Amino acid sequence: MSTKIVIAFVVGVVVGAAASLLLAPKSGEELREELRQSALAEREQLKAEYSQAKSQLQQQMDKVQGDVEEKLAQVKGKAETAVSPE
């Protein structure tokens, strides 16, 4: 074999090894950490959305309760007026 072929082969092996290290997928530990961080971010997002939905539902319930109390007061007033002797 000629020296040029041996040098080209060695350079090719070194370049291939370097490229494989740079382009290799993440290690298991890195992937688990990334997934954990992603899950934590999603959890926080869901907690915020749950809190917002709960607040909106509470506001709607308060409004309905107020409306019902108002209607009951109106009905009570009409009933008292209808029953009271004039």
pLDDT digits over 7-61, tens only? 888 888 888 877 776 777 777 788 788 888 989 999 899 999 999 999 999 999 9
In whole angstroms, how large is the CA radius of gyration of the chain?
37
Looking at the predicted structure, is the pLDDT value of residue 1 above 60?
Answer: no
DSSP 85: -
Domain residue extents for the chain? 39-86
What integer pLDDT is reported at residue 85 of this predicted model?
67
- Each residue's pLDDT tens digit, 32-46: 888 889 899 998 999
**Tokens in use for 85?**
């002797």
